[in-house]
Structure formats: structure tokens, C-alpha cells
Amino acid sequence: MARDSESGLPIEPVYGPETTTGWDPARQLGDPGSYPYTRGVYPSMYTGRPWTMRQYAGFGTATESNARYKQLIANGTTGLSVAFDLPTQMGHDSDAPIAHGEVGKVGVAIDSVDDMRVLFDGIPLDTVSTSMTINAPAALLLLMYELVAEEQGVGADRLTGTIQNDVLKEYIARGTYIFPPKPSLRLTADIFAYCRAGIPKWNTISISGYHMAEAGASPAQEIAFTLADGIEYVRTALAAGMDVDDFAPRLSFFFVARTTILEEVAKFRAARRVWARVMREEFGAKDPRSLTLRFHTQTAGVQLTAQQPEVNLVRVAVQGLAAVLGGTQSLHTNSFDEAIALPTDKSARLALRTQQVLAHETDVTATVDPFAGSYAVERMTDDLEGAVLELMRKVEELGGAVAAIEHGFQKGEIERNAYRIAQETDAGERVVVGVNRFRLDEEEPYEPLRVDPAIEARQAERLARLRAERDRGAVDAALAALKKAAAGTDNVLYPMKDALRARATIGEVCNALREIWGTYVPSDTF
């Protein structure tokens, strides 16, 4: 029976030379680690060492999250990935009225460098790679991390990790923006320049398609709109006077891995190929590292179900396998209970063990790009590449990613695809095990992890003590310097760091920038 892919492209019942139009198995695919990087960004890939095993974690207070990080490290995770609560993501202090009811709920509450110090207490920042899922206030969290490293005696040149720092996708799919696009892009360029000068091993942005996929984007839309955002960031940095090879090697990406293994493998291969060509042909990048699309993957939270949650263990294993076969550089595997609540210690450990089984008990690390030359995967790669390029062309015709966002193009395309998926699921055409097929008459009880609501009051008490103890004059002077830089053309990260060192809070720093840059209000066309 004929079937379409997640991107709406046809899947042939059988692939061979006669169905793989335009593709000759003998054509030059390139070797792993060489242009156009279809087969992977490194020559040896996992035969040298496996991908970085990250676990996305953070909840409640910095003390609670610190304990979870230490458990994950003890269980073998090789990289931390920090989840921040919504007030932190939106640039508000925990005692702000708008933060009420959200403190510590979907991530850890960080109000000042004092909280960041507690979050990484006892964790050596020169040996651990840390990824921070933070966007509009990304500069603040990076600078706090740098300040804590200084206190540990760790030089900034030894820090490794990533800040997500991808505000464009917030306007498209997620909504945790603060400032309008123009100053947000200016802040991104300032981060690029700051890190190049002082934190050279840090990945300054993780251009994210994951959240678009969670909002309903197809694989083709996920890649096309993510790469279009990447192009916008490159153009912004070039307009700020930077050379492409000065910042492009530190760009990274963040994608989802679904249960549809073949299309996901093809998606990752097509993404590498398109990005390499864009960087070489449009931007004239010379450094091979500027051409490589390095990416982190997270298994698809949107595919997890609250019904029969243990089945999510199987889904996550399949999704993780898709990411590995597609050549990811790092991976987070979701916990099976995330559709219900925050993961328990046991479920987080099981998620990590899933990666360890893939790395150490299967043979997927024994050879590079095992699907190379597959009639099916190579044809699907070509089909996806064509669909991606067509969507990217439409974005360009609208004037680029920001102009397309202002037209509501990406958001509208994603919403239409999400509606299609919902209709297919409701009609039973798209099978979701335990939801519209193979259901139980009665679900088994499950006791989730819950966040203590008293956290909000405790964070407010910490903020009150901080404000009483610090030098208010030093804070005010630093914030005034920050506003002056924001109103001019100086790099805002330097006065921002001074303000954070003086123990200014996230809310105070973001409010100072709000005074100068304003806040983003979505268009009615959305």
C-alpha cells in the first residue's frame, strides 16, 4: 500500500536504480568528514568515540537541580543540558508578579549569579560540557556561567558548551521572546564577537528546528526554516563586520528525532548537504569547519503519550537510533514519563541507559554512515533536499527569515501541517499506539514527580536577601552603562557582565534593555 512520509513525500514500496531518478550509486557522495558532508562531519564519526550523551534537566531550585546533575554525571552522562523555568526564559525575577505560579516548574529558577553558583557547585566546569536551553536572555546565563567558572579558577578559554541563543524560532514556534527581532539579532552578533575574543571553544548558538517540530513542522519544514534562520544569523554577523570564518565554525544546530527512522536519517543527511553548499557558495566560507553542520538531537517529546507511558521507552529507543544513524554529535533521550510530569530519578536514568545501550551493545558505532548507498535512503535524501530548497526559496522571496516571520509564513506553514497530523490521528489514519489503537480499558496508576510550590516563596526570600546585601550604587551604575551601550553600538556583553558581577538580577538587566529596545508584540497576521 502506498504511503507518504512525514513531509508528505511519497515512499516507494521498493527502491532500486529504476526508482532512484537522478541518483547513481557510483556518483560521488563524498567521504565522511569531507564536502558536502552528506555522510557525516567527521571522518571517523563514532568509530573513534561515541556522541556526547546529554540529559536535559533542571527543576525547582538550583540546589535540587545540582543534585540531579551530580546523579546524571555519576551514571555516565558526558554533558549537561540545563532547563530553565519560564520566568528565567522570559527575563523576569522569581518574585515578579508575572512569574507567579511558574517558578521552578518547567526548569530551574535562576535569578542571579548566586543561583548559578549553587547550580554548578561541586561540578568542575573545565571538564564538563554544558548546554543551556536559553534564548532571549542567553547572554546573561552565559556570562553568569563565566563568572562562576572564574570563581572556580577556570579560565574562559577552557569552557566548552552551547547556548541555544536562537530567538528567531521563538517568533515562529515557541514564544519566549523578549525584544523585537532587530535588537535581538544585534545581541546575537555581540555574543558571537564576545565569545570569539574570550570564550573561543563555546558554541555561540544552537539554531533550533526542534521546537518547530514540536509545534507540528514536518521534517522538510524543520530543516528549511532552521537553515533559513541560520542564514539570517550569518548575514547579521557579516553586517556587523565579522568574517564568516571567524564565527561560522562555532555555529551549531538542534533537531528532533522522530520514530520514522528512514526519513529522519535522510533528513539529517540532506541538512548537512544543503548547509555546506550555502556556506561555501553563498557566503564564500573557506574554513572546512564553517561548512559543517554540527547538531544536537533530542528525541521527539511531542510523540510521547500519557497513555501507557512505558511504551515511550520503546519510542525513545527508536528515535535515539534514528539520531545516531543520522550522525548526530550529541543526543538527549527523553524520559518515558515526560508526557505526565517532570522525570523521576529512575526514569532519567533509564533514558541515559537507552543511549548507553545504543553506544555499547549495538554495532552502530562500528562503522561510519551505515546507510550510505541505500537506494531508499539516498532517494529520500534527494527528495527531502528538494523540498527543503523549495521552502527556503519561498522564505528568500519574502525577504529572508525575519521578513517571512513578519508575514507569518513559517508559522502558518507549520500550523497547517500540525492540523493535517491532528486530522490523520483523529481519523485513525496515523496510528498512535495506546491512543487511537491498542488501548487499555483502564490506565495503570502512576505517581509523578511534583515541584514543591513553596519554591516560589524561597526564591523570593533569596532575592530579598540579595538586594539587601549588595551594593545598590554599583548595580545602578552598571545598569546605566548597559543602557548606554544598548542605545549605542558598543558590545553590550561587557557592561552586562559588570552588572551581573555586581549581583544585578536577570529581571533588572532585562528591564534595562526593555527600556532601550522595547518588547516584541506579535503581528495580528499571526
113-164 pLDDT per residue, tens: 999 999 999 999 999 999 999 999 999 999 999 999 999 999 999 999 999 9
* Predicted local confidence at residue 526, as pLDDT: 39
For residue range 283-296, list pLDDT tens digits in order. Answer: 999 999 999 999 99
The pLDDT score that the predictor gives to residue 26 is 47
pLDDT, mean of residues 415-439 = 96
Question: What is the structure's pLDDT at 225?
Answer: 98
pLDDT at residue 20 is higher than 90: no
pLDDT of residue 25: 53
Q: Which three cell numbers stand for residue 428?
A: 485513525
Alpha carbon distance 331, 340 (integer Å): 22
Which SS3 state, helix, strand or coil, does residue 165 take? Answer: coil
Residue 24's pLDDT is 55
Task: Say yes or no to pLDDT of 19 above 70.
Answer: no
Query: Rounded to whole angstroms, how far apart are CA atoms 276 and 269?
Result: 11
Rounded Cα gap, residues 203 and 131, in angstroms: 9
Closest by Cα among 510, 498, 517, 483 to 144: 498
Provide CB contacts within 8 A for 45, sequence distance 6+: 32, 33, 327, 368, 369
What is d(CA 268, CA 245) in angstroms, rounded to the nearest whole number? 23
What's the mean pLDDT in 436-450? 86
Are 155 and 202 in contact, with CB atoms under 8 Å apart?
no
**Average pLDDT, whole number, for the chain?**
94
Higher-pLDDT residue of 107, 522: 107
Q: What's at 406, amino acid-wise?
A: E
- Mean pLDDT score, 200-221: 97
Q: Which three cell numbers stand for residue 334?
A: 527523553
CA-CA distances (angstroms) from residue 245 to 177, 187, 207, 285, 295? Answer: 28, 19, 17, 6, 18
Query: Please, what sign has the CA dihedral across residues 313, 315, 318, 320?
Result: negative
Which residues belong to CATH 3.20.20.240 in the chain? 3-10+51-364+386-426
| Among the listed residues 307, 325, 159, 342, the one whose alpha carbon sits nearest the alpha carbon of residue 258 | 325
For residue 22, what pLDDT is reported? 55
Radius of gyration of the chain (CA): 23
Structure confidence at residue 236 as a pLDDT band (50, 70, 90): very high
Q: Does domain 3-10+51-364+386-426 have CATH number 3.20.20.240?
A: yes
| Of residues 133, 122, 144, 118, the one with CA closest to residue 64 | 118
C-alpha–C-alpha distance, residues 41 and 275, integer Å = 12
The pLDDT, as a whole number, for residue 156 is 98
Strands 10-11 and 52-57 turn out to be unpaired
What is the distance between the alpha carbons of residues 452 and 104, in angstroms, rounded to a whole number? 9
Distance, in Å, from the CA atom of 297 to the CA atom of 329, rounded to the nearest integer, reads: 8
Confidence of residue 452 (pLDDT cuts 50, 70, 90): confident
Question: How many of the other CB atoms lie within 10 Å of CB of 484?
Answer: 13
User: Taking residues 69-81, what's their average pLDDT?
Assistant: 91
Predicted pLDDT at 27: 54
DSSP 8-state secondary structure symbol assigned to residue 97 = G
In this structure, what is the dihedral angle of CA atoms 293, 383, 369, 298, given to the nearest 10 degrees?
A: 60
CA angle 121, 127, 133 (to 5 degrees): 70
Backbone phi and psi for residue 477, each to the nearest 5 degrees, phi listed first: -65, -40
Q: Which tens digits make up the pLDDT trace of 473-482?
A: 999 999 999 9
Exposure string of 225-240, with b = 16+ CB inside 10 Å and e = fewer, is bbbbbbbbbbbbbbeb
The string of DSSP letters for 432-450 reads: -BTTTBS--SSPPP---B-
Helices (H), 219-326: 219-239, 244-247, 261-277, 288-291, 311-325
pLDDT tens track for 376-423: 999 999 999 999 999 999 999 999 999 999 999 999 999 999 999 999
Has residue 111 got a pLDDT over 80?
A: yes
